[in-house]
Amino acid sequence: MAGIIGRKIGMTRIFDEVGEQVPVTVIEAGPCPVTYVRTEKDDGYAAVQLGFGVQKVKRAPRAETGHVAKAGLSGAPRVLREFRLAPDQAIEVGQSLTVEQFEPGDRVKVTGTNKGKGFQGVVRRHGFTGRPASHGHPLSRNPGSIGPGTDPSRVIKGKKMPGRMGGVRHTVINLQVVQVDPEHNLIFVKGGVPGTRDSFVFITK
């Protein structure tokens, strides 16, 4: 099963058959034209390259415009992404993939770039509890001792320290598709997905 590229619209809630509310993320996904197909014979693996959105002509690289012109597209997509294919799947260049490949109840994984939160300390970044605060400790949120003394006289690699938080690619797996709206190219996924509003996400089964 290939995937699809989408744009996160935001979160809302819908009600199921028994009237219980379900928190969902609304994603505008597709239609995604197939711009290139890789095969086991030529490339060593089977995959399909999909596009999403359209760039302005003056901003699109000529190489990219020429590449997608072979698939019958007049403009270069804003996003190009490869998705692996099963050996028995037959997808051709120029074909478009839509949200119709998903059904309510399907389990998917969604990949996106989560929100950047800047430089943060260990309490927020790693969930440290901090020092006792009953009498106003002057260093209640600092990390404390960061390494052994005489031996080995250095900070061990991988130590949880303050630093930049967020702004990295993140994948959430085993999310449930609650509803699909092919008419408006919308897919409703239960729970939250990485990224801000209007950010691009990649959905695969």
Segment 3-52, tens digit of pLDDT: 999 999 999 999 988 999 999 999 999 899 999 999 888 888 899 999 99
Of 25, 23, 47, nearest to 34 by C-alpha is 47
Other beta carbons less than 10 A from residue 53's beta carbon: 13
Assign residue 72 the CATH number of its domain.
Answer: 3.30.160.810
Q: Are residues 104 and 13 in the same domain?
A: yes
**Has residue 1 been placed in a domain?**
yes
**Has residue 136 been placed in a domain?**
no
Q: Are residues 188 and 173 in the same domain?
A: yes
* Residue finishing a domain among 50, 72, 97: 97
48-94 pLDDT, tens digit per residue, is: 999 999 999 889 999 999 989 988 888 899 999 999 988 777 888 88
Q: Are residues 72 and 173 in the same domain?
A: no
Assign residue 121 the CATH number of its domain.
Answer: 2.40.30.10
Q: Are residues 91 and 122 in the same domain?
A: no
* Total count of residues recorded for the chain: 205
Write the DSSP symbol of residue 152: S
**Number of domains into which the chain is organized:** 2
Please tell me the predicted confidence (pLDDT) of residue 34: 93
Q: Are residues 68 and 111 in the same domain?
A: no
Please tell me the predicted confidence (pLDDT) of residue 148: 83
Question: Can you tell me the distance from the alpha carbon of 123 to that of 156, in angstroms, rounded to the nearest whole number?
Answer: 20
Q: Are residues 114 and 188 in the same domain?
A: yes
**Structure tokens of 26?**
């609304």
**Has residue 54 been placed in a domain?**
yes
**Structure tokens of 2?**
């290939």
**Has residue 53 been placed in a domain?**
yes
Residue 173's domain spans which residues? 1-30+98-131+159-205
pTM metric for this prediction = 0.85
